[in-house]
Amino acid sequence: MLPVVALVGRPNVGKSTLFNRLTRTRDALVADYPGLTRDRQYGQAEVEGQSFIVIDTGGIVGNEEGIDALMAEQSLMAIDEADAVLFLVDARAGLTSADESIAEYLRKQSKKVFVVANKIDGIDADSAVAEFYHLGLGDTVHQIAAAHNRGVTQLLNLALAPHIDGMALTDEGDDADEDYDNVVHLEEGEEFDDSEETAQDDKIKLAIIGKPNVGKSTLTNRILGEERVVVYDMPGTTRDSVYIPMERGDREYTLIDTAGIRRRKNVTDAVEKFSVIKTLQAIEDANVVLLVIDARDGITDQDLSLLGYVLESGRSLVLVVNKWDGLDNDIKERVKSELDRRLGFIDFARLHFISALHGTGVGHLFESVEEAFDSATRRTSTAMLTKIMDMAVFDHQPPMVNGRRIKLKYAHAGGYNPPIIVIHGNQVNALPQSYKRYLMNYFRKALKIMGTPIKVEFRGTA
C-alpha cells in the first residue's frame, strides 16, 4: 500500500505549488493525451525513490454545496485516511484566524500532523515562523519554499519515514519492479537485461474501478458467482479494497474489488463507500484496470478524472460501458458518439458494452484483459525491435535537420508493463512529435500491442 500524504491549509499558502512539485514526474505521461484534463487534487508522487499518494485538499471552507460538497467530503475523508498531514501556513502572511481554526480541527483528529511554514525564501525565516509554534501541533515548524524546492525533500522524508521502515520489513517493496517510476533507465549502448527480474508473475491483478453506482459490485458478483461472496471479510478501513483470488480457464487472477462486494444492507450514501484514495491504490497495485462507465450517465468529469489516473499510472486498461440493457437505439447511438468524441484520444484500450445485471458481454471482457496483460508483459528482442524500427524508417524517412537526415540506429526494450522502447540515433532531439507518434503506432501495429500504453524514448549521440 502506498502511503498517503494530505496537504491542508487555507487558500493561497502554496498547497497547489507543493502538489505540482511533488507530482511533476508524471506529467510527461499525461502529456501524451491531449484530450485529458489532469486532476490537480490527487496525484502520485515520488521523493528519493519512495512513492506515495498526495492529496491537495483544496480550501475547505465548510459551506460547500453540490459537487463542491462531494469534493469537500472526499477531502475530509482524505485527511482521515492520510498517513501524514502537511498543514501549510504562509510564513510571509503570518498566523491568521483561518490557520487557527484548521489547527483546532486537526488537533481533534489524532493524526500525524506537520506544521509547514511555506514561502521562507528571501525572509528571516526563523523569526517569521516563531508565531506558528502557538498552533499547538507538535514542537517543530518545518520551513520550506515550495516554489523553489527548498526543504521539500527533507520534509517528505520525515513525513514518510515510518513507512520506509515499515516497507523494509515486509515483501511489499519487491513489487517495485512493476512500478512505472522504477523503470530501468539505460545508458548509451547498454541493453535492457531482465534476467535479474523475478520470473514474471503471470497472475493477473485486475482492478475494477469507477465512480459510485456504475455497477462495480454487480460486475464483481457476476464475475465471481454469488456463492463466493460470503467468503470475504469487510475491509478494515474505507481505503482498503478487497483482494479476491480467482481462476478463469488456465489463468490465475487477483480481483481487486474497490466497491467492496459484501455491502452492508442499507448503504444509502454513495460517498461512504467510494474513496478516490482506494481507487488510486487499486490502480497502482493492478496490472490491468477495468474502468466502468455508466451508459445512463454518459461520460462524466469524474469518469475522465479516473481515466486520467489510469493513464498517469501507465497501467493496462479496458473500458467498460455498463447498463447497456434496455436502452433505446437512439440513446445507444448518442452514448457511442459521445464516447467517440470524449474518449477517442485513447486509441489503445478496447471498449466493451455490457450488462453486469444480466451478464451480457461479461465473459468477453476477459479476452481483452488477457490481451492487455500479455501485450504489457511480452518480451521482445533487440533484433526484433531494431528490425521493426528499420521497416518504419524504410516506409517513411525521418526529416532532414540542418541539411542532415536524422539517423535512427537501433532499438531495444527499456522496460515492460508498460512496454518501453528505446531508440538510439543521431539528432534524435530534433525529431518532430508527429514522427515520434508515427514510430509509436508502427511499433504498436507490428507487435500487435493492445490494451496497454507504450512509450518510445530516444537516446542521442550528438
Which set of grid coordinates corresponds to residue 205? 491483478
Question: Is residue 43 close enough to count as binding ligand GDP by CB under 6 A?
Answer: no
Q: C-beta of 212: minimal distance to ligand GDP in Å?
A: 5
Helices (H), 197-298: 216-224, 270-273, 276-285
Q: Say how many C-beta atoms besides its own lie within 10 A of residue 363's C-beta.
A: 12
Strand bridging mode 42-47 / 50-56:
antiparallel
- On whether 322 is known to bind a ligand per the annotation, the reply is yes
Give me the DSSP letters along 262-284.
S--TT---HHHH--HHHHHHHHH
Give the burial string for 240-267 (b: 16+ CB within 10 Å, else e).
Answer: bbbebebeeeeeebbbbbbbbbeeeeee
Spell out, one character per residue from 77 to 116, where the chain touches ligand GDP: x when CB under 6 A holds, - when not.
Answer: ----------------------------------------
Give me the least distance between CB of 219 and ligand GDP, in Å please.
7
Residue appearing with cell numbers 490481451:
371
Q: Tell me, what amino acid is at 433?
A: Q
Footprint of ligand GDP on residues 247-286 (CB under 6 A)? Answer: 259
The answer to whether 17 contacts ligand GDP (rule: CB under 6 A) is yes
CA within 13 Å, CB half, 177: 14
Among the residue ranges 67-75, 142-150, 386-394, 449-457, the one whose residues contact ligand GDP (CB under 6 A): 142-150
Q: Which residue is nearest to ligand GDP (CB)?
A: 215
- For 89, the enclosing helix (H) or strand (E) is strand 84-90
Part in contact with ligand GDP (CB under 6 A); list of ranges 36-44, 164-172, 214-222, 240-248? 214-222
Binding site annotation covers 265?
Answer: no
**How many other CB atoms sit within 10 Å of the CB of residue 202?**
11
Shortest separation between residue 311's beta carbon and ligand GDP, angstroms? 21
Residues in contact with ligand GDP, shown as a per-residue x/- string from 317 to 336 under the rule CB under 6 A: -----xx-x-----------
Nearest approach, Cβ of 273 to ligand GDP (angstroms)?
Answer: 7
# chain residues binding ligand GDP, by CB under 6 A:
30
DSSP-assigned letter for residue 297: T
Is 16 a binding residue for ligand GDP by CB under 6 A? The answer is yes
Q: Is 119 in the site for ligand GDP (CB under 6 A)?
A: yes
Min separation Cβ 396 and ligand GDP, Å: 44
> How many beta carbons lie within 10 A of that of residue 207, not counting itself?
25
Interacting span for ligand GDP (CB under 6 A) from 109-117, 209-217, 242-250, 277-285: 209-217
> Is there a binding annotation on residue 21?
no
Does 411 contact ligand GDP by CB under 6 A? no
Residue 30 binds to ligand GDP (criterion: CB under 6 A): no
CA 323 to CA 215: how far, in whole Å? 8
Verify binding: residue 145, ligand GDP, rule CB under 6 A.
Answer: yes
Listed residue (183, 194, 88) closest to 144, CA to CA: 88
56 among annotated binding-site residues: yes
Distance CA 175, CA 198 (A): 10
- The DSSP call for residue 135 is G
Q: Was 403 annotated as part of a binding site?
A: no
214 binds ligand GDP (CB under 6 A): yes
Q: In whole angstroms, what separates CA 43 from the centre of its chain?
A: 7
Cβ count near 157 (within 10 Å): 13
Residues contributing to the annotated binding site: 9-16, 56-60, 118-121, 210-217, 257-261, 322-325
Residues contributing to the annotated binding site for GTP: 9-16, 56-60, 118-121, 210-217, 257-261, 322-325
What does the binding site for ligand GDP look like in residue numbers (CB under 6 A)?
A: 9, 11-17, 118-119, 121, 145-148, 210, 212-218, 259, 322-323, 325, 355-357
